[in-house]
Amino acid sequence: MINLELPKKLRASANQAHQVAKEIFRPVSRKYDLAEHEYPVELDTMAAMVEGLNDSGTQKIGGASGGRSDEHATELLGNTNGGNMSALLNALETSWGDVGLMLSIPYQGLGNAAIAAVATDDQLERFGKVWAAMAITEPSFGSDSAAVTTTAVRDGDDWVLNGEKIFVTAGQRATHIVVWATVDKSLGRAAIKSFVVPRDAPGLSVARLEHKLGIKASDTAVLLLQDCRIPADNILGSPEVNVEKGFAGVMQTFDNTRPLVAAMAIGVTRAALEELRTILTEAGVEISYDTPPNNQHAAAAEFLRMEADYESAYLLALRAGWMADNKKPNSLEASMSKAKAGRTGTDVSLKAVELAGTLGYSQHLLLEKWGRDSKILDIFEGTQQIQQLIVARRVLGLTSAQLK
């Protein structure tokens, strides 16, 4: 029989993250939902805890910087084989507390996953402890990552970047930004590279912060790069343009981050299900696993349906993380997990609001907030439609040119 229990080491790390979510995130969740753009000072405590855990070699709480399980990354980032799984579970647990605060944990940005995915050993040495946001989306495109128009031009010992990036999570607070730019527009997507841009780099500025539907504790910025200069060796991976390989190098980032975003959605889903179960139980609605759903209360039957979706999303995400840790190509599984979890998160959280009635729609509980927060988890790192398109290409063995 297949054993689906988590290893003891991963359970310990996840339990730590759950305590942070319960004791630090949940108590201030509503506070920062109502105070958009106000810095969560409680995260300064988190920063100290993360730094202490890193120094002691313990797994990271937020986990976005997981993804390298080779020997060198183990030494630098405190990861052993299981780094992706640990990062995934930690993201799930902290998102159970508050996904906006999870995205604001210092030194745990989505850009860290990009660094872990494609950086050279020397770059891991230099950028292993930075707080990195990730800047991909531009005003002219959203889901088509190959449509990057931001440029990077080599000038002596520097790269000079020009362009505008929007919807950059932690774009104001992070110490570094991983920017996607093209080094040669004539070569198409193969020329798209990722660059590590320090916050104080000349020519980098924050144009504005966005007002959003959800994840209000997280800052979402518009960044301008105007003749922004960075050192030549701040280009992640190889600077060479390999037309045959395309931009598979930078796309490796998504194989790491999509299961993490799936985990965030799963965390919000579990929070909503737990709250809904409490409400239904207090209302006298019994949820039975021994009676067919069609013979139970309609709300109980709906709960069982949603719980089954939650379980399948959870197992898909674990599979994608396990494959990454075992150096198996997981592009298909990463997109499957992201698509399933994103859709499940919005379905479950909004249905929980509906079934909870007036309690669900009011601010007495966090249900309505989770309903708002969940929507972005079905959008960023590739929308639902993009994930389904990627899955179809992988299953059918077709290229992006053959199936659009």
Distances (CA, A) of 188 to 193, 225, 242, 247: 11, 21, 11, 9
Q: Other C-beta atoms within 10 Å of 70: how many?
A: 13
Alpha helices, H only, 244-330? 248-282, 298-325
Cβ pair 36, 216 in contact under 8 A: yes
Instruction: Tell me how far apart the alpha carbons of residues 106 and 130 are, in angstroms, rounded to a whole number.
Output: 9
Four-CA torsion 271, 260, 233, 199, nearest 10 degrees: -20
Closest CA to 88 of 204, 10, 185: 10
381 as an active site residue: the answer is yes
Amino acid occupying residue 17: A
Instruction: Tell me how far apart the alpha carbons of residues 363 and 329 are, in angstroms, rounded to a whole number.
Output: 43
Q: Other C-beta atoms within 10 Å of 139: how many?
A: 12
Active-site residue identified among 302, 307, 333, 381: 381
Long-range contacts (CB closer than 8 Å, 24 or more residues apart) made by 12-16:
13/58, 13/59, 13/86, 13/89, 13/90, 14/86, 14/89, 14/90, 14/92, 14/93, 16/58, 16/59, 16/61, 16/90
- Mind spelling out the 3-state secondary structure of 337-364? HHHHHHHHHHHHHHHHHHHCCHHHHCCC
Output the six-digit token pair for 324.
């990454």
Instruction: Tell me how far apart the alpha carbons of residues 269 and 345 are, in angstroms, rounded to a whole number.
Output: 5
Four-CA torsion 307, 309, 310, 311, nearest 10 degrees: 90
Instruction: Tell me how far apart the alpha carbons of residues 174 and 117 are, in angstroms, rounded to a whole number.
Output: 19
Residues catalogued as catalytic: 381
